[in-house]
Every structure is written in structure tokens, then in C-alpha cells.
Amino acid sequence: MFQKYDVIVVGAGHAGCEAAAAAANMGSKVLLVTMNMTTIGQMSCNPAMGGVAKGQIVREIDALGGYSGIVSDRSMIQFRMLNRSKGPAMWSPRTQNDRMRFSEEWRLMLERTPNVDFWQEMVTEILVQNGRTIGVKTALGIEIQAKSVVLTNGTFLNGKIHIGEKSFGGGRAAEKAATGLTEGLVALGFESGRMKTGTPPRVDGRSLDYSKMEEQRGDENPGKFSFLDSTQPPSRQLSCWITYTNEMVHEELEKGFSKSPMFQGRIQGVGPRYCPSIEDKINRFAERDRHQIFVEPEGWNTVEIYVNGFSTSLPEEVQYKAMTMIPGFEHARMFRPGYAIEYDYFPPTQLKTTLETQLIDNLYFAGQINGTTGYEEAACQGLMAGINAHNKINDRDAFILKRSEAYIGVLIDDLVNKGTIEPYRMFTSRAEYRILLRQDNADLRLTEKGHALGLASDKRLAALEEKKSGLATLLNELSSTKLMPEEINEGLAKINSSPIREKNSITTLLKRPEIGVKEVQKLHISIASLIGKFSTDVAEQAEIVVKYEPYIDREQKMAEKIESLDNYAIQPDFDYDRVNALSSEAREKLKKQKPSTIGQMSRISGVSPADVSIMTVYLGK
């Protein structure tokens, strides 16, 4: 009935979709197994992509040749570039999306990929022979052979939904949990744990009074995620809205605490620190008399509204009564209540930096099974697992991104070396080289790598070369074009910038904090004409390079110095007991996690700088 596949991907969420697409586009024959073909690429929680640090990840996925950016662009209803008031290292693109269109677009993208087959069923067992996976077994007892397997099970592994004192099995609302797989993996020697996440109620937008809320429009000149010109910024956008809870809302919610599964100990899993439920917020931040609520439309042609900021697992009657005390929600009609969900995950310290498991060859984990939270974090892991699964079975080198090359590299390095005991979420603060890892230069950092893999198309590479050429030309012209005081001092005075006393280059002017590309073009018609020959992306890139050049250079040198430790390779079967000077904690961690380099070793929790020095000297001998 089934052929032998190169790669089987289990789960069709964000991680599974990217894994299947990547492996297939590189040439592998892929089977995507999902329990429900109608929920491929489902946005289980908020209908949005990107945001702080997450937007950088989506652009990195796109630069490598993944699909999340394209799917987001084609289904967006609003675009905003967050943190524009801060430096470019903090700028983060975010889209509001049409939930149904997003899922539909992902399915269409995969169905148009010739090497992807589909099968709707539950996988209950990983087939293993001589320490290597050889396929999967389904609930119907069907065994499907494969050279490698990627598990992207999301919140479905023994998923349990909580609403007040009620609980029942499920991986998502109205969808059953996946059973049997965790127990089989534990029997193979894997360590598992439990995590928790939650989602807010959905309401009927026709029942809300938007006059009591603050309107949140999209950007006046919206952008997009993908570097390809096959997607376009939105020609029209839907607004989101902002309102706030109040003391009456909090008092009403507190009445349900005696029936809260979280406060009564019925939930054992650890929840996301940076996306707490509303009951957790009012409990932990009792001094605050209000919390922000984002009112987000679910799409172009639906009245359904996502109540962002009101995630809860309290009884549905408590949820509803408290919600009607929020300004604008007095007559709200609820479509479905919020709930919490517990699920199994596998501590990611059991993985290699390729996302292949250490215990079983050719078995990969990606997404929430590794303890992460968020569509973007899952998608980039799926992409990397799909790439490496294909490379491994074709005897190609592993594809690993450094911390200085991508947020994707930071995320995977954090997971594998430090692990996580709570749902991991990406922030700009997690990246020590965030000036290098900006959203605007993701293509400059990664597209050549994606093209070498066979993922990024020739069209992408040609666009990159055009951008690089344009950038180099513009930077040269900015530094070589000089302006006299009488030409620009009047314009400088209008923007409260100091006059010049001698001939200055445009580059020198751009280094002033109050002057950007837009301002400098207004100073003289020759500048406007010069910069106007280049695209907005190239002009913006040039401004960033000019303004932040010393910081970029300093960070690059720091990265090169620290990453020199990665030149010291450690063999997988290295006997740490031979190095007597190592601390006992370091020896224990190193035996378990088996780092491949001194650099990776240095980032493992519990390994001290002294341990790193000892190993460096030992290997040097």
C-alpha cells in the first residue's frame, strides 16, 4: 500500500509543514501524516505571525527558502513593524492573519509540492531497528517504512484540556489527543515531561462596542515578510482594537479561583512565563488594577474575534461574566470558552544540534515536543529538522546555524545546550549578537546558504545579488558625494540639526542621530535624485550600515573570537572520565549531552569556564 519514504513527518502544524516542504523541495520523497487533513497549518492560538524576535525568525525562514513568510503575506489582514522608535536591531515585523486563509494557503503550498504525500491517521509507534528508526506504525496497525522520521506533535501527545473543574482528553478544541507515542518513546529510553499552555475565549465581533476601545491600525506604508516579489504588501487592512480589564473584572475572576485547575493543582505542567493566563496575571500582579486586552479579528470574512490577553482555564460561566465587565464587551456573545491544555514534551537536551535525537539515529524532534511555544519557534525547528533529515540520509553535511548567524541558531543552541523547564519563547534579549541578526538583513545572512542547500531558488539568489550590488553602489556614492554648507545648511536648520562649516559627505550627515534617509533627501535635490535610484530596502539598509557600522564591526569581531572555540572538535564517544580535573557536575552533563565542540560545551548549563579551559588544554595536547 505504501512505498518506502525518505522522510515521514508526523504532525502538520507549523513545524510539520516546514519540515515536509523543506525535505521535499530538497529532493526527498515525503509522507506527511496528520490526524486531521482539514487542520493543516492551523493557527491554534492567536491569528498572527511574527512580533518581537519572532518576526526575525519568520524572515530567516523565508531567506532560507521556507514557506512561513509567503503564507503569512498571502493571508495577512494587517501589517505592523514593531519597535520602530528603537534601534533597527529591535524592529520586528508582525502580521495579523486570516486564520482560515492561512491554513488553506499552507495546504495548497504542500499539495503543489510534488514530493509530498499525505496520510490522515494517528501515529502510535516509532519503528526502530539496531538503534535506527525505520518508519512508523499507525493506530490502524499499518507499518510505513522510511529512512528518517520527524516528530512534530505539538500539544497532542497525551493532551488534556481543562475548563474549570472539567477536564478531558484533546490536543486542541474538538480534536482528540495522540496516545501511545509518548509511552513508546519512554520505553526506548527517552525522558519526557509535561507542559501547559492556554487560549482565550472567542467572541462574536457584532456584539462588541468598538467606540469604547482604542483603534490599532496597521502601518500607513505596510511591509511584508517575504523577500520574494511574488507577494505584495496589503492594499487594505483591518484594524485591531485595545481595551482594558478593571478591578470589577478581577474581582469576578477571583470568585472562580476555587474551581481553577491551575490554583487547585489539577494542572501539573509548567505554563509559559511570558504569556500567562488572566487569572495568573491578577494573582501575580495584584498591585495592577488593569491589564491590556487586544481585540483581534480572525479574518476578512468572519465575525469571530480573538480576545488576546484573556487566556484562561476558569469555568466558562466565570469567564463570560468577567468578560462582560470589560469596556466594549458588555453585550459580548461567546463562541467558545478559553481553556488550558497539558501535553507531553521531551527535554531538548536529548537532541543533537541538528535536532536528531541522540538515542535513535535518523529520528528528529521539532516544535512544541521540544518544549517551545509559538508558531515561529516551531516553524524554524521544522525547517531545520527537514533539512537535516534529508542531508543525513543522503550523506551530506549537517546544516547548523551559529548564534551569530541567525535567531534560529540561538533558539536551537539554547534548547540543546541549556534545555528548558518551561515553554521556551524567543526574545531579542536571548541573542547576544542582535545587531548582526536584524530582520532587514536576513536575506544577506542566509539566502546563499539556502540556495546551496537547494531550498532558496535561483530567483531568490538573483534578487539577493541585485540587493548587494545596489547596496555597495549606494554606500560608495553616499561617501563620495560631498555637499557645501550653502547647499544644505538651510535644510539642516529646519530639522534642528547643526550647520556644517565645510564640505561634508552624505555619509557623514547620515551618522547624525536626527538624520535618516528620509531627512537627508530633503536637504538637497541632488541627494533625493541619488537615493531615489535605489529601492526602499537598499536605502534603509544603507542607512543602518552607516549609522551602526562601528557597533556591527565590534559585534562581528566578538562573535569570531568566541566562536573560535567551535574549532575544537570533540568526538561523540569521548571518555570524559579520562579528564580527572573536570568537575563532577560538568562530567555528568557532558556525558549526557555529548557536545560536538568546545564552543557547544561552553554553553551547557553546569559547565564552568574552568571546565572549558581544562578541556581546551586537554584536546590541545
- pLDDT in the model for residue 387: 98
**Averaged pLDDT, 128-156:** 98
Helix (H, G, I), strand (E, B) or coil at 332: coil
The pTM of this model reads 0.95
**Averaged pLDDT, 338-347:** 97
Measure the CA–CA gap between 110 and 87, rounded to whole angstroms.
37
Determine how many CB atoms are found less than 10 A away from the CB of residue 185: 26
Task: Read off the DSSP letter of residue 455.
Answer: -
What pLDDT digit, counting tens, does each position of 282-328 carry? Answer: 998 989 999 999 999 999 999 999 999 999 999 999 999 999 999 99
Name the least confident of 4-13, 137-146, 563-572. 563-572
Determine how many CB atoms are found less than 10 A away from the CB of residue 523: 22
What pLDDT digit, counting tens, does each position of 15-34 carry? Answer: 999 999 999 999 999 999 99
Closest CA to 133 of 194, 185, 174, 202: 185
Contact by Cβ (8 Å): 488, 523: yes
Residue 127 CA: distances (Å) to CA of 146, 363, 490: 9, 10, 76
What is the chain's alpha carbon radius of gyration, rounded to the nearest angstrom?
26
- pLDDT in the model for residue 621: 66
Give, to the nearest 10 degrees, the angle between helix 375-393 and helix 14-25. Answer: 30
Closest CA to 369 of 215, 158, 223: 158
Over 70: is that where the pLDDT of 472 sits?
yes
Amino acid found at 423: P
- Please identify which residue in the block is written with the cell numbers 505584495: 232
C-alpha cell of residue 375:
508558531
**Per-chain mean pLDDT for the chain:** 95
- pLDDT in the model for residue 226: 98
- Largest alpha-carbon pair distance within the chain? 83
**Averaged pLDDT, 371-389:** 98
Over 80: is that where the pLDDT of 1 sits?
no
Q: Which of 258-272, 333-347, 522-536 has the highest mean pLDDT?
A: 333-347
What pLDDT digit, counting tens, does each position of 252-276 carry? Answer: 999 999 999 888 888 888 888 878 8
Determine how many CB atoms are found less than 10 A away from the CB of residue 536: 11
- pLDDT in the model for residue 265: 84
Non-local (6+) Cβ contacts of 183 within 8 A are none
Determine how many CB atoms are found less than 10 A away from the CB of residue 443: 26
Non-local (6+) Cβ contacts of 461 within 8 A are 447, 448, 451
**Averaged pLDDT, 185-191:** 98
Helix (H, G, I), strand (E, B) or coil at 63: helix
What pLDDT digit, counting tens, does each position of 538-589 carry? Answer: 999 999 999 999 999 999 999 988 888 888 889 989 999 999 999 989 999 9
Cα atoms in the Cβ-side hemisphere of radius 13 Å centred on 610: 9
